[in-house]
Structures are given as structure tokens and as C-alpha cells.
A = this chain, B = another copy of it.
């Protein structure tokens, strides 16, 4: 039994962890923290967990965390970095679902997150928790930086092409669309129902924090270290789901992208390369840890190939991938507790 703590358990990522872990036979959630709700029982804040989670929220720096084997941080950025060093010293393993340990360069991180990093010395040893890329390193990691939601969908859509040098890495466009839960569970005018419903918009067109994260991963994978990606995020009036439409230019019209993708992910349990020309929908992976990918070759040599990639931003894009990482770190089957099919409707 892995004893687990969740720091920041009142956000959407936190409550999703509670939901997933309640069905995971190898885990016991011992601590759930929330500075704003401390003292309340979990099920008073989330009646969906009545009779399922019997805990009281404690504050983030509760001593109770010390005795946990593993601690998930489901906090906004710039929180985990203040707690992680001490907890690592206590022997806890850490999976941080926030952005604090995703970027290797403290300068780049500080540029995008506009705050000084509290423990840059930990960045080199933090493992980027995309199992399809770093499975071996994750298994022995003490500190895993769980990828962002957009980066998960887009990186998985590009990995086979970039790794195998199939496309022009300097001409990639990722037009991505996210459900509203990606904005987090907090009072904000911009994500009020009546500001978002029956509308669609792009945001952060001039630059989104997930861009350096994606660029770092792809550049590491690419031999010549030079990936040029345009990334435009959009907001969809739905709760869950990320849809990435990725436009790439194959190095030659004869490259069989479909076959490359199918082969690349053949052994992966959570990446499903659909038949060529498929139209994945976010609902097919809602509540599931799967990323579904479809390849659409251009009709002529001058047209880009279109890669479509869908995930549930709260599962494969956050809590589910964190559980997948936990399974790897503790020697469990990678899909333990993650069998759920997509929820239709």
C-alpha cells in the first residue's frame, strides 16, 4: 500500500486525483491539504466523495505529509517549489502537477512565470513525467515534473515525427483547444459560465507558458536542437478535453506517417493511433487516460500533414498521467487504476 498525500486537493486536478486514487487498489490517500478549506471534511466540499474519501483538509505544510511515501502537488505554480526540498529530505517521493519543475533553465522558467525559482538546484534531477518519452528515468525518479495538459497532447502528436526526423522541425503549427477546467478551480471573471458559454476565443496568442515546455521537449528529442513551433491556445465551452490540430510539413511526400506513428506507439497502453483519416473527438477520451491520435496526409505535396490529438486535460493531461507516473515509480503495472474507457455521452 502506497501512502499518499495530495497538496492542493480542492482544485480540479486535486479532486480528480482523489477520484482516480479512490479506485486504485494499491494506494491509500492519507493526507489532503487545502489552505482555504482546512478543517473541513473533504466530502463537505465535494459531495461526490461522500462515503468514499473520509479525510479532513489540513494545511499545506502539515507534518502529516512527512510520513507519506508519495506526495502529489496539485497546486498553482510557484507553490510546490517552497515545499518540495524539505519533503524530499524526509524521504518522500514527489510528483508535481504544477509547472515548477518542468523547465530545466531557471532563467526561462523565471521569464515565463515571473517569479524567482526557490530551488533551482533541484531542476537537473527532476524527471519530465511523460512516460512515453522518459519511462526508464521515471522509474527511478524521486521528483517527477508532470507535464502540462497542452504539452502532453501536442508532444505526443509530434514525438514520432520529430524523433524520426520525418518533418521540417522549423515549420510546425499547433492550433490547440481546451475545455474550461484547464483554467483551474478559482473565482475568476474570465471563466464565469456566462463569459465562456456560447462563445469561443483564442488567448495568449503572443505567447503561452506551455510553449517553452513543448519546445524544450521537442528540441531535446530533435538532433539539431532547432524546433520552431507556433502554438495558439483556444478556449472551448466544455468542461474537459484538449484537442490539438497540428500542421506539419513532411520531409517527403512518400513518407508513410501513419505507419511510423502506429509503429512508434505500438507498445504504448495509453496512446492509440487510430486508422488514417479518423476524426477523434475529445469525448472519446473523457475520463480516460488515453491519447487518441489520427494522421491526415495532405492531398498534395505542398499541403501539410494534419495530426489530430485528443486527451482529457484532467486525466492524461494531469491526474491520470500522474497516477501513471506513480505506478512506474513504485513498480506497479503502468495501467493500474487507469482502465476506465471514455465517457459517452
For chain A, what secondary structure do more than half of its interface residues adopt (helix, strand, loop), or is it mixed? Answer: loop
A288 / chain B contacts, CB cutoff of 8 Å: 48
A56 at the interface (CB under 8 A from B): no
A180-198 CB contact bits vs B (8 Å, 1 = yes)? 1101011111011111111
Verify B198–A306 contact, CB threshold 8 A.
no
Given the interface contacts A175-B245, A230-B306, does A280 sit within 8 Å of B194 by beta carbon?
no
Verify A339–B23 contact, CB threshold 8 A.
yes
Which of B15, B180, B189, B296 sits near A187, CB closer than 8 Å?
B189
Number of copies: 4
Query: Which of A230, A298, A310 gathers the greatest number of chain B CB atoms within 10 Å?
Result: A230
Verify A198–B272 contact, CB threshold 8 A.
no
Verify B285–A48 contact, CB threshold 8 A.
yes
Verify A243–B201 contact, CB threshold 8 A.
yes
Interface residues of A (CB under 8 A from B): 12, 15, 19, 22-23, 46-53, 170, 173, 175, 177, 179-181, 183, 185-189, 191-203, 205-207, 228, 230, 232, 234, 236-241, 243, 245, 247, 272, 274, 277-288, 292, 296, 298-299, 302-304, 306, 308, 310, 339-345
Q: 20 A-B residue contacts at CB 8 Å?
A: A19-B344, A23-B340, A48-B342, A50-B274, A175-B245, A179-B194, A180-B194, A183-B194, A185-B189, A185-B195, A193-B197, A197-B198, A198-B286, A198-B345, A200-B238, A200-B241, A202-B243, A207-B299, A228-B302, A240-B345
